[in-house]
């Protein structure tokens, strides 16, 4: 009788400590207890976990470099070539991935081996806040996640309030050169441009990261051009001196990586994005 009671108590205790959330692919993620050994397979996920429980990180992907403490952790490859054996050897109780064609096979193999994989692919500031809450639940730090999420939402609300009635500004955002990609409103950067009051040439495109047409951009006559890439790409626009953005010296380079990673730093960097857009309204450089 006593044994049965003990087993029942143990069972109830285990059930009480179990945590469950849905990931960004809609899958239910269940852990018997809070994650203590976490591996991240993408830089934005590294930043999310580091903001909540940095001590839980045991390995990161090749490109994770923020905050500085993660640079001392083991590397387990990149989105195109994950070291599955190294991941398994580290015995993680949670792996966080941004799944796509490049690493679908690897993450599928991890699941087959019994490793829990959370799909994190935030497409807006709200989604970043939601990721912080859900990951914090899995990490046993729900209050920390809720506090961070509140900060994200408050900063976003302040920016929206500032620009919601502002004049729309024609903006083109360039990613790379050959081919020249851009973003639609399906991407977190595209949604943020919209929040800043920008009219994005490719905002309504069905693709998240469509290929841009130079002819279409020239016809669009952007008032602001934002470039993510080497400084040489900015110089390339100077041959189009009649473009409004070029003539008014509103061709700006996205510095650093905070604006291209949907992590905790993004909403802060978004303020600069809005200032670049707003410079066309003010008639002066930000």
At 187-202, the pLDDT tens digits run: 999 999 999 999 999 9
Same domain, 29 and 142: yes
Q: Which domain holds residue 83?
A: 15-149
Label residue 80 by pLDDT band (50, 70, 90): confident
Nearest CA to 79 out of 35, 54, 44 is that of 44
Nearest CA to 51 out of 64, 67, 71, 33 is that of 67
In a domain, 155, yes or no: no
Same domain, 39 and 139: yes
Same domain, 220 and 255: yes
CATH code for position 256: 3.40.50.1980
Label residue 11 by pLDDT band (50, 70, 90): very low
At 217-233, the pLDDT tens digits run: 999 999 999 999 888 88
Distance in angstroms (rounded) separating the CA atoms of residues 220 and 140: 49
In a domain, 23, yes or no: yes
In a domain, 224, yes or no: yes
Classified as helix, coil or strand, 201 is coil
Boundary (domain end) residue, out of 116, 149, 182:
149
DSSP 8-state code for residue 183: -
**DSSP-assigned states of every residue in 64-89:** ---SGGGGGS-B-EETTEE-HHHHHH
CA neighbours closer than 13 Å in the CB half-sphere of residue 81: 3
Boundary (domain end) residue, out of 123, 149, 175:
149
When divided into structural domains, the chain yields a total of 2
Boundary (domain end) residue, out of 96, 120, 149:
149
In a domain, 156, yes or no: no
Same domain, 88 and 124: yes
């Amino acid at each position: 009788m006593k044994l049965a009671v003990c087993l029942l108590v143990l069972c109830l205790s285990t059930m009480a400590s179990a945590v469950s959330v849905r990931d960004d692919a809609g899958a239910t993620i269940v852990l018997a207890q809070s994650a203590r050994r976490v591996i991240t397979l993408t830089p934005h996920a590294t930043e999310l976990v580091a903001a909540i429980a940095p001590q839980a990180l045991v390995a990161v992907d090749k490109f994770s470099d923020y905050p500085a403490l993660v640079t001392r952790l083991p590397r387990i490859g990149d989105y195109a070539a994950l070291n599955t054996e190294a991941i398994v050897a580290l015995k993680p109780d949670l792996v966080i991935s941004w799944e796509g064609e490049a690493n679908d096979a690897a993450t599928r193999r991890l699941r087959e081996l019994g490793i829990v994989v959370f799909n994190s692919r935030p497409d807006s500031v709200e989604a970043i806040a939601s990721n912080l809450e859900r990951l914090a639940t899995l990490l046993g730090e729900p209050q920390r996640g809720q506090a961070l999420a509140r900060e994200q939402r408050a900063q976003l609300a302040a920016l929206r309030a500032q620009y919601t009635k502002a004049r729309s500004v024609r903006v083109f955002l360039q990613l790379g050169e050959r081919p020249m990609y851009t973003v639609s409103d399906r991407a977190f950067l595209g949604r943020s441009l919209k929040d800043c009051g920008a009219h994005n040439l490719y905002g309504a495109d069905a693709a998240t990261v469509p290929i841009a047409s130079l002819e279409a951009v020239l016809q669009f006559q952007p008032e602001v051009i934002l470039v993510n890439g080497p400084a040489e790409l900015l110089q390339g626009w100077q041959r189009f001196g009649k473009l409004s953005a070029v003539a008014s010296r509103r061709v700006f380079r996205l510095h650093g990586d905070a604006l291209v990673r949907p992590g905790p730093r993004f909403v802060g960097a978004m303020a600069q994005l809005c200032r670049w857009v707003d410079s066309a309204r003010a008639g002066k450089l930000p």
